[in-house]
Amino acid sequence: MPIYAYRCTSCGFEKDHLQKMNDPVLVTCPECNCQTYEKQLTAAGFQLKGNGWYATDFKGGNTPPKKESPPACEACPGATACAAS
């Protein structure tokens, strides 16, 4: 069963609830009894392990190769573009 995070917009009370996917959404705050208890959007609570497709394609934050900057001009040290030409 998934765990859902809830927060009351009236009093700020927060709590995680273990619910079935087909259970109705909770609306009554258990702290102040207002009808302002809302389900929060949270990150998934699982981690993929092993050496499947996700490890080779997405794991490790593969980034595209960096472009090499043009060589600096000897007449313009520290500049990325040549001011002498």
Mean pLDDT of 51-74: 61
pLDDT at residue 31 in the model: 94
Nearest to 17, CA basis, from 30, 28, 6: 6
**What is the topology classification, in CATH, of domain 1-42?**
Rubrerythrin, domain 2 (2.20.28)
For position 1, what pLDDT does the model report? 80
CA angle 37, 46, 58 (to 5 degrees): 120
The whole model's pTM is what? Answer: 0.52
pLDDT tens column, 53-64: 655 565 565 555
Give percent of the chain above pLDDT 70: 52
In contact, 80 and 68? CB cutoff 8 Å: no
- CA atoms within 13 Å, Cβ hemisphere of 70: 8
Average pLDDT, the chain: 77
